[in-house]
Amino acid sequence: MAGKAWRSAILNLLRKWGVTLHREDKIKAQEVSWAVGALKKETPQPRTFTSGIKTVTLIPGDGIGPEISSAVMKIFEAANAPIQWEERNVTAIQGPGGKWMIPPDAKESMDRNKIGLKGPLKTPIAAGHPSMNLLLRKTFDLYANVRPCVSIEGYQTPYTDVNLVTIRENTEGEYSGIEHVIVDGVVQSIKLITEQASERIAEYAFEYARNNQRASVTAVHKANIMRMSDGLFLRKCREAAEKHKEVKFTEMYLDTVCLNMVQDPTQFDVLVMPNLYGDILSDLCAGLIGGLGVTPSGNIGANGVAIFESVHGTAPDIAGKDMANPTALLLSAVMMLRHMGLHGHAKKIETGCFDTIRDKKVLTKDLGGNSKCSEFTAEICQRVRDMD
């Protein structure tokens, strides 16, 4: 292409992907590389056309779930996001053969739409069936749990400038649930690491790093003690690193990561790890930015399924009182938009949310204010509308 034609070509490409440029006559090298990267990469996740309406399965959940789900729906409407919601309920039902499963209409909806947004689900004690989260995980083979932890300006914690992502293997590892009583008083719990699962999660971690312009991936392990199991995990990570040379790969012991994380979290970027370490580290990182009430989370499954969720509890004590904080579910929904490629809308809603929290005028009780959930939602909607 001659002269400035390539600029317009790239500008159009960027516009299509929802990236806005401040000064269109000066295209930055980074933006060009984004576009080139977007052209080069394969896209295993389902991409949506920015012009079409995408249907997303919404699972409101229990407790404060319905309130925060409706808050998110309102904000999306205010932002004119091309999303159509299909509400479904998941309560465990016993299928033929006595096996517990989720209702077939929910399963069918998820399989069709591939993207889901989930509120908090109640885990019943002694109900005879496993937790709902576990059922969902098994049904859709949700193998990766992704938690981006970014410090929220306006919600003060002792840690500022946190910007990392924890990617946790979600199906095996220490949570395999295989336990035996060998003799009375001796219990053995089996930690399972398989080549296939490790390969899958390592691949996903590098792809995520590439798609989200992340500079490095760190594998967290304890191979000095668990030589074979974490050794296998590390080997697979190294192999995936070979295939993705543009992303820097490092390995770090779990204890060193914990030590450095509480002293200087800025040194970490993307962390990939097996199940148990991931559980603990992702909650540690959530604690750094302010807790589960403001942390988004996404679960990626096989066959392109992705369910984004809020990881806090159902908070039955404040359910129905319009006191809930929808930030976690909102940020998870923003993550969902980014996953679908709707970066423009994602940026708009995220900015609206962060600006509201930064202004500190209208905040829910857990963020330090005394406004209602509906007021908080309305404020964000107002900001989002003003941005257009």
**C-beta of residue 241 within 8 angstroms of C-beta of residue 272:** no
Site for another protein contains 280 (CB under 8 A): yes
CA–CA separation, 124 and 74 (whole Å) = 30
What's the length of the chain? 388
CA–CA separation, 252 and 163 (whole Å) = 18
Cβ atoms within 10 A of the Cβ of 228, count?
Answer: 9
CA–CA separation, 286 and 186 (whole Å) = 34
CA–CA separation, 7 and 26 (whole Å) = 9
Structure tokens at 3: 């002269």
Of the residues 149, 261, 324, 357, which one makes contact with another protein according to CB under 8 A: 261
| Residue window 69-88: x/- pattern of binding to another protein, with contact defined by CB under 8 A | --------------------
Site for another protein contains 180 (CB under 8 A): yes
| Residue window 285-324: x/- pattern of binding to another protein, with contact defined by CB under 8 A | -xxx--xx--------------------------------
Site for another protein contains 267 (CB under 8 A): no
Q: Which stretch binds another protein (CB under 8 A): 7-15, 41-49, 175-183, 320-328?
A: 175-183
Of the residues 25, 42, 161, 179, which one makes contact with another protein according to CB under 8 A: 179
11 or 254, CB closer to another protein? 254
Which residues are CB-contacts of 353 (< 8 A; sequence separation ≥ 6)? 75, 327, 330, 331, 334, 380
Q: Which of residues 138-167 bind another protein (CB under 8 A)?
A: 157-159
Of the residues 188, 245, 303, 388, which one makes contact with another protein according to CB under 8 A: 188
Of the residues 284, 347, 375, 387, which one makes contact with another protein according to CB under 8 A: 284
Of the residues 191, 248, 347, 385, which one makes contact with another protein according to CB under 8 A: 191
Query: Coil, strand or helix: which one is 21?
Result: coil
CA–CA separation, 260 and 207 (whole Å) = 25
Query: Least distance in Å: CB of 339 to another protein?
Result: 25
| Residue window 216-255: x/- pattern of binding to another protein, with contact defined by CB under 8 A | ------xxxxxxxxxxx-x-------------------xx
85 or 159, CB closer to another protein? 159
347 to 86, 105, 307: CA distances (angstroms): 23, 32, 20
Instruction: Please enumerate, as own/partner, the contacts of 109-112 that have beta carbons within 8 Å and a separation of 24 or more.
Output: 109/57, 110/57, 110/140, 110/305, 110/307, 111/303, 111/305, 112/55
Query: Coil, strand or helix: which one is 117?
Result: strand
CA–CA separation, 264 and 366 (whole Å) = 26
Of the residues 260, 351, 374, 382, which one makes contact with another protein according to CB under 8 A: 260
Interface residues with another protein (CB under 8 A) are 157-159, 174-175, 177, 179-181, 184-196, 222-232, 234, 254-256, 258-263, 276, 279-284, 286-288, 291-292
